Copies of this chain bind each other. A is one copy, B any other.
């Protein structure tokens, strides 16, 4: 219901992982207990749990499960990382847990840090949101994309908590509708006014003066500041530039991959064509049609107004890389 709290996306409970099954939202809020690495890999692949920061915690918890069950840690790490090739936080979380003496404790530390990180990021970004702003966002970079609080939605949440009024345009985000299913649901719970639109309507809202800023999350940020995020993000960045609208990317420093030189080096996951041609089990395209279903695109750093991070708002790729290198935790 509107106003109800949003539970943790993923947590460690006793000897298992407990996570929200995001495939069933917004109709049902249900949790799944995860007791095996194979089960976790399936849940990641089918997007029961998704979002770069949440996948960082999920990856670490997967290693924690493997360590408890005396599985081969290196093989588990490879298996987990292969489920989603674009989101760098997944590999980051796996590697942190692998490098730790106590993967279970480390996974819980990552989960706790995530919420703190997002609150800091949100507070820093809230300054960029004018009172009364109309904000456009894409996909879900909310609490459900993280352990809690959210990145892009964390910024809006912090602005709202600071007493600012705002209205959010929620792109539905085809093919899997994370905007319609997850972001709209979260904003309802947060009592932040929002309007759901199809992805292709963003340009005409901008042309009518209806968007003051765009805020999105990120799945991987390259060393030069290029941003891989949900397919459609790059187009919004081009449209924002055309309409002279600020375009902000909100993400923890752990989403920056110093080993990826630029956007051209980022592997873009291609997913099942049926995500596009089947809706709720109903076929919408003709039999035999060719489908290209890229899950992400790359926005060049030149189109990004600022990167909103847990160490503050960063305005240049060089500054971003310096901040990432200061992260005490090894990648």
Contacts and interface: CB of A to CB of B under 8 A. Distances in A.
Interface of A: 2, 26-27, 171-175, 177, 180-181, 184-185, 188, 193-205, 207, 231-232, 234-235, 238-239, 241-242, 276-277, 279-294, 297-298
Given A234-B203, A235-B204, A194 B289 contact: yes
B289 A200 contact: no
A18 to B, nearest CB: 23
12 contacts: A172-B276, A172-B284, A174-B198, A174-B200, A177-B284, A181-B284, A184-B286, A188-B288, A194-B290, A196-B277, A196-B291, A200-B200
B26 A197 contact: no
Nearest first, the 10 A-B pairs at minimum CB distance are A200-B232, A203-B235, A280-B282, A204-B297, A26-B286, A279-B279, A174-B198, A199-B200, A180-B285, A195-B290
A280 B175 CA distance: 14
A109 to B, nearest CB: 33
Contacts of A288: 2, 188
A181 B284 CA distance: 6
Number of copies: 2
A285 B171 CA distance: 11
Contacts of A241: 242
Contact of A235 (B27, B200, B286): B200
A146 to B, nearest CB: 20
A283 B235 contact: no
A22 B239 CA distance: 32
Contacts of A291: 195-197
Given A184-B285, A188-B286, A284-B181, A292 B238 contact: no
Given A239-B235, A242-B238, A285 B196 contact: yes
Contacts of A235: 200, 202-204, 235, 239
